[in-house]
Amino acid sequence: MNYPLNYDSPSELREFLENHELSMKKRFGQNFLINRGAREKIVDLLGAEAGDKAWEIGPGLGSMTWHMLEKGIDLTVFEIDNGFACLLRDFYSDLPNFSIIQGDFLKTFKNEAETQGIPPLVIGNLPYSSGSPMIAMLIKNELSPRTMVFTVQKEVAQRMAAKPGSKDYSVFSLISGSKYKVELSGDIKAGSFYPRPAVVSSVVKLTKHDSFDPGDSSVYYTLIDDMFLSRRKKISNNLASGRLAARFGREKVLEALNASGISAERRGETVSVEEAQHLSRLLSKEFK
């Protein structure tokens, strides 16, 4: 079998899938990036060099995979679709810098991290339905790769990069900004994918920073969830009825809020990552 699978038109891709008795599965949110220039740009954004270790989430038919293997990257791919996983093995298993983990990334990545270590680089054209949980899990589970580059739905990318007070600012903004500088690196039109999605996609680059100091990170991530229990309610009301208050008492939580200097009258959507970290540090000390 010849490789790489650099198909640039829907007709070529359809023919290939038919010839190999493969089909797209809607439940996996599969949309293949058939724009060669976009694939190369995404790989270049990763800033990888020969010998670097990286993970690719959802390689599909492996066209972006090939760009990375060609650069000499030590690549582990995670593919949920059995048919595509078998194809990837046929194409790339003879290469010393390729390995594959079959199954749902959300269920398999922890074991791979524990046994093989955490790579400095992660890349992926992520499914629209599960892209956000994948990114959140990578950040919250202390994996902290140096650089991550993803293709996600444009609205997801905007939430990741949103600033306090904007309509897109959310819990996901506070998760993304907790450990990473988030950069929007351009949109990809629907016609660059097969099947053609009903949404616009964006490329987002996350570069790790070292300023995350929340005390207990689990307190931080619970805190930001609590702050957004109801977007229209004041922080004090949300925190008083959140998980931290249920566990440690609403009085202690509200005392920490007062000590933080964050007005109880504000809403969660106005609180910056730095302010949330400060409150988290106070709560972490309180709950030891």
Please determine, for residue 28, whether its predicted confidence score (pLDDT) is greater than 70: no
pLDDT of residue 20: 82
Q: Worst-scoring range by mean pLDDT, 4-18, 142-156, 200-214?
A: 4-18
27 vs 118: CA distance, rounded Å: 28
pTM for this entry: 0.93
252 vs 245: CA distance, rounded Å: 8
Q: Phi and psi (nearest 5°) for 203?
A: -95, 130
pLDDT of residue 12: 80
Please determine, for residue 1, whether its predicted confidence score (pLDDT) is greater than 70: no
Residues 77 and 53: beta-carbon distance below 8 Å: no
Higher pLDDT, 162 or 247: 162
Please determine, for residue 10, whether its predicted confidence score (pLDDT) is greater than 90: no
